[in-house]
Amino acid sequence: MQMPLLRSINEGRGSGIKPPLVYSIITVIHRLLTLTHKMKSFVALLAVVAVVAADVSHLARNPEADAQIVRQDADVLPDQYKYAYETSNGIVAEEAGVLKNVGTEGEAISVQGSNSYTAPNGQVIRLVYTSDEFGYQPQGEHLPTPPAPQPIPEYIERALEYIRTHPPKVEPSGRL
């Protein structure tokens, strides 16, 4: 005995009439596939528009991109190193490092170096630095400096003087 759904499907085969459930499923699948195809076409169109809009041929090429290395030296040993290089656009860098206190708990590398280049405004930027167990210490005219200390206001000086001349008295119980 056939189930009613299969019977209606089989009956509808030759007549060209589709049973309602099968027709609904096919219609939903067809609409989803059509919608997916439309979405893919829309995404492809957006991709083409993005590629055309991203044309960078009008941008100027940076002349710095063609800089060549005109000098390069390097010397690496087990407990020290040094290197230096210079480029055709005026960049110069050199650095030397030495391992200090070898084999002890205080072993550290001490580095000294410098580099310089010409900024877009024409100013030569030069940085000299050391780095060791005390940290990185850069020096250069282009680096910001801390502001000058401000004078202490008179009322604060009077208050500090009062505190110095009138220390708190400690009671035997340890209370102030």
* Mean pLDDT along residues 147-161: 92
**pTM score of the predicted model:** 0.51
What pLDDT, on the 0 to 100 scale, is given for residue 111?
A: 97
**Per-residue pLDDT reduced to its tens digit, 86-139:** 999 999 999 999 999 888 888 889 999 999 999 989 999 999 999 998 899 999
What pLDDT, on the 0 to 100 scale, is given for residue 107?
A: 87
Distance CA 123, CA 78 (A): 38
Question: Given strand 135-139, what is the order of strands in its sheet?
Answer: 69-77, 80-87, 92-100, 108-118, 124-132, 135-139
Distance CA 167, CA 160 (A): 11
> 79 or 25: which carries more pLDDT confidence?
79
What pLDDT, on the 0 to 100 scale, is given for residue 143?
A: 92
Boundaries of every domain in the chain: 4-53, 68-139
Could you tell me which of 122, 138, 130 has the C-alpha nearest to residue 90? 122
Q: How far apart are the first and last CA of the chain?
A: 103
What pLDDT, on the 0 to 100 scale, is given for residue 15?
A: 52
Pairing mode of beta strands 108-118, 124-132: antiparallel
| pLDDT of 2 strictly over 50 | no
- In DSSP terms, 108 is beta-bridged to 100
What pLDDT, on the 0 to 100 scale, is given for residue 47?
A: 84
Question: In which band, very low, low, confident or very high, does the pLDDT at 6 lie, cut at 50, 70 and 90?
Answer: very low
